A and B are shown apart, each in its own frame.
Chain A
Amino acid sequence: MTLILALAIGVLIGSGLWLLLRPRTFQVICGLQLLSYGVNLFIFGVGRPVVGAPPVMQKAGFVDPSAYADPVPQALVLTAIVISFATTALFLVVLLAARGATGTDHVDGRERRP
Chain B
Amino acid sequence: MIRSVQLTPEHLLIAPLLIPLIAGAFMLFYDDRRRWMKFGLGLISVLAMGAVSWQLLGRAGEDALLRVYLLGNWPVPMGIVLVLDRLSAMMVMLTAFLALPALIYAAAGWQGKGQHFHSLFQFLLFGMNGAFLTGDIFNLFVFFEVMLAASYGLVLHGSGAARIRAGLHYIAINLTASLMFLIGVALIYGVTGTLNMAELSQLVPHLTTAERPLFHVGAAILGMAFVTKAAIWPLCFWLPRTYTAASPPVAAILALMSKVGVYAVLRLALLFFAPQGGASAGFGGPVLLTFGMATMVYGAAGVLAVDGLARKAGHIALISSGTLIAATGVALLGGGPRMLGGALFYLAGSTMAVSALFLIDEMVTRSNEADPEDAAREEAEDAARIAAAEELEWGPMGLGAVEDDDAPAVALPGSLVTVGTLFAALAAVLAGIPPFAGFIGKFAMVSGLIGGASEATSVPPVAWIFVFVLFASGFAVLLALLRFGMARFWVAIEDRPRILVLEIAPVAILLAGLLMMTLLADRAMTLTLTAADGLLEGRYAATVMAVRPVDPAAAPEDDSRDVAP
Contacts and interface: CB of A to CB of B under 8 A. Distances in A.
Interface residues of A, number: 38
Contacts of A94: 152, 156, 164, 167-168, 171
B165 interface: yes
A42 interface: yes
A69 B167 CA distance: 41
Contacts of A80: 182
A73 B186 contact: yes
A84 B149 CA distance: 11
Contacts of B189: 46-47, 72-73, 76
B169 A107 contact: yes
A109 B186 contact: no
Interface residues of B, number: 37
Contacts of A32: 172, 175-176, 179
A90 interface: yes
B272 to A, nearest CB: 18
Given A25-B168, A97-B164, A102-B385, A76 B185 contact: yes
Nearest to B167: A94
Given A100-B394, A101-B385, A102-B164, A46 B152 contact: no
Contacts, number: 110
B554 interface: no
Contacts of B164: 94, 97-98, 101-102, 109
Given A35-B176, A46-B190, A93-B397, A100 B168 contact: no
B138 A79 contact: yes
Contacts of A11: none
Given A98-B165, A101-B389, A102-B385, A91 B190 contact: no
Contacts of B142: 79, 83
A36 B181 CA distance: 11
A93 B175 contact: no
Given A25-B168, A46-B187, A94-B152, 17 more contacts: A35-B176, A39-B182, A43-B182, A84-B179, A90-B149, A93-B397, A93-B399, A94-B156, A97-B156, A97-B164, A98-B168, A101-B160, A101-B161, A107-B172, A108-B165, A109-B164, A109-B165
Interface of B: 138, 142, 145, 148-149, 152-153, 156, 160-161, 164-165, 167-169, 171-172, 175-176, 178-179, 182-183, 185-187, 189-190, 195, 385-386, 388-389, 392, 394, 397, 399
Minimum-distance CB pairs A-B, first 9: A46-B190, A109-B165, A43-B186, A101-B161, A100-B389, A46-B186, A97-B399, A101-B389, A98-B164
